[in-house]
C-alpha cells in the first residue's frame, strides 16, 4: 500500500509492505526490508505470544536491513485497555524491554480508533528528514504508550 502526504510543502511517499507474520509470506521479507528506511515490527497487545514472534521478525528483518529505523508497534490498543490492569502492566513491561533490546521506538496503537497511527508516520518522517519531534513520551499504563 502506498501512503502519500505533504510536509512543509514537500510530498512524501511511503510504500508499506505487510508480510502478515505468516510463513506463507516470509519469502517477501528480504524484498520488503532491503532498502527500507524504516521497519515496523507489529504485535497484538492482547496476545503476548505475538511479542515473541515480533522478536523473531525483527531478527529476520535485520539480516536484510541493518540501517532502517526500527519501530515496535503494539496493535489493538482499544482491546488491550479492556484487559485486567496487572496483565496490561506485564505487557507494557515486556514490550518496553523488547523495544530497548531492538533499539526501537515503541508505539501502542489502534487502527480501528486511529490511535497513534499518524504519530508513527510523523515520527518516521521526523527521523528521516531531521525535523523537530514534538510528540511527548507516554509511559502511563492504560494509555497509548509512546517510548523512545
Is residue 127 within 8 Å of 69, Cβ to Cβ?
yes
**Residue-wise pLDDT tens for the chain (148 aa)?**
788 878 778 888 888 877 766 555 556 666 667 888 999 999 999 998 999 889 888 988 898 889 999 999 999 999 999 999 999 999 999 999 999 999 999 999 999 999 999 899 889 989 988 888 888 899 999 999 999 8
Report helix, strand or coil for 110.
strand
pTM above 0.95, yes or no: no
Q: Is residue 123 part of a domain?
A: yes
Q: For residues 107 and 29, give the distance between their C-alpha atoms in angstroms, rounded to a whole number.
A: 22
What is the domain-level CATH number for residue 67?
3.40.50.300
Q: For residues 130 and 124, give the distance between their C-alpha atoms in angstroms, rounded to a whole number.
A: 10
As for how many domains the chain has, the answer is: 1
Q: Is residue 141 part of a domain?
A: yes
Q: Is residue 27 part of a domain?
A: no
Displacement of CA 3 from its chain's centroid (Å): 16
Which pLDDT score, from 0 to 100, does residue 111 have?
A: 93
- Rounded to a whole number of angstroms, the distance between the first and last alpha carbons of the chain is 26
By residue range, what is the domain housing residue 82? 35-147
Backbone angles phi, psi at 122, to 5 degrees: -65, -40
Q: Is residue 143 part of a domain?
A: yes
Q: Is residue 11 part of a domain?
A: no
Amino acid at each position: 500500500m502506498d501512503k502519500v502526504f505533504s510536509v512543509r510543502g514537500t510530498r512524501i511517499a511511503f510504500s508499506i509492505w505487510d508480510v502478515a507474520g505468516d510463513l506463507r509470506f516470509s519469502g517477501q521479507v528480504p524484498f520488503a526490508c532491503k532498502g527500507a528506511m524504516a521497519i515496523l515490527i507489529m504485535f497484538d497487545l492482547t496476545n503476548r505470544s505475538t511479542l515473541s514472534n515480533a522478536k523473531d521478525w525483527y531478527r529476520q528483518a535485520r539480516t536484510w536491513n541493518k540501517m532502517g529505523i526500527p519501530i515496535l508497534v503494539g496493535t489493538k490498543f482499544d482491546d488491550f485497555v479492556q484487559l485486567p490492569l496487572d496483565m496490561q502492566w506485564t505487557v507494557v513491561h515486556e514490550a518496553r524491554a523488547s523495544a530497548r533490546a531492538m533499539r526501537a521506538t515503541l508505539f501502542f496503537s489502534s487502527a480501528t480508533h486511529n490511535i497513534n497511527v499518524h504519530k508513527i508516520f510523523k515520527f518516521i518522517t521526523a527521523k528521516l528528514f531531521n525535523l523537530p519531534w514534538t510528540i511527548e513520551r507516554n509511559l502511563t499504563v492504560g494509555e497509548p504508550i509512546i517510548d523512545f
